[in-house]
Structure 1
């Protein structure tokens, strides 16, 4: 396969993963009607972990890593899985979906670009800036043009702050993974930081197991769990990390702007939510910005000092 074709496959993969994550905002909120946010996150990653190891063994023939890398992966797992995913769940629970979508998504690529020089020598080009601005304008139109709007009232402040923190920590987490992915595959890195994240998350779930009426769980709860395990975690993490390594962290993270568009589209298709002209215009701006970023040739990034 030609290099240009592989690059566009990575762009398409990033867009698909972001669309899946957008649809999962509603699925996760539904799941948290039954499960505590920490327990829901733990079920997602602990059930996905064996499949990560099986896939790693099948594709690469081994699952191990040098012992010297384990402390760094433990830190990545603690902050990037345990802390980050719990914060995402609580932000969805304690603020509106519009707030969570905007604050989780919009600042993330900006922080990735700002913090990038700490980890990589990844050039920020005028095309990347212009495309990013168009995408930011688009995602703001999509979210603010909806009926729910953006709400800064004190009742949502905890969720809003958590959502903003997710953008900061998430950008740093993505960038911190990149040097490891220069030495090992994206799948190997993902598998091991997920393993540590599950390990650190387990003690936090202990008060929650007894609160769930396991015998009363129905199809909707199991569907939410399976969707999170196989689609939002196993498939999404492998595809996202491979794409991010290929095209660069700054470019990849701008594809997170597909997340709120997907959330709005899912609401329109499955929950009869209205779709406004502002949101349609925002989708066009966002798509144009991402396309403008995508058609630029990228020079390979090198590891920072």
Structure 2
């Protein structure tokens, strides 16, 4: 009898332990990710080689289970976020991932634009349509269009930019029907929707989507960036530095291991990102000697100040360099003595 009781209790314990792994909590956990060398994943046709390395830095994030939640409670550089702090209202995990991948694609495009123009090379765009980035509940697009759908014709017309698309729909009235041609999973589809006024602005009519341009950047020499499933816009600055370095003869790395983070706007502005503390830890573990951090024009709670505080806390010898623009990073590297 005791043996049966012991066996039953043991089996129940195993079931509970396994359930703890697979049962998700309404939280996300983030931790230091990796510092990844960019030369192997960015290739400019006939580009110049470098002695050192530029590296992007990442934060690893996943939905919490009981074990990862408890571990994060005990570790200094792991963070716990409530689900609604990561996912928007009624946003699914898949939709979040899709948006992150689009933001990465946009980040790469901006990096190419800034790097090529800085190198004195022409940049052109080929507009292909728009991506659906959000579908508003209660509007005509709900149930008909999905996040990630690519609309490339309206009533049989193609447009040179999203502005013309919006203007065309905006000239119509509530009750008018409009036909959209779009692709989903590489299949062409069409749907006709009746325009409806927006609740927050009844004077405007539409189908209820948020959209972004779908376009290709055209440059010579050609450039390829293979980021696989890495998402988000935070590698923009480091992409720009790596592309520019391959385009120009003088090696900006000068033999150093250089990590960093920050978004990149088409005007060369470096923007702030999340998880700077965890990225400092990741860069230090990878042996980075220099780290570029968004300065945010000297704001008290800037990424740069948080990065400096973390660097002191982990006793790294890595130099933390504040940057507001791509030019700031260039000026620092140009003055840097070669190893």
Q: What TM-score do you get using the length of structure 2 for normalisation?
A: 0.27
TM-score (norm 1): 0.29
> Which has the higher relative contact order, 1 or 2, with Cα contacts under 8 A spaced 6 or more apart?
1
Which structure is higher in strand share? 2
Q: Which has the higher helix share?
A: 1
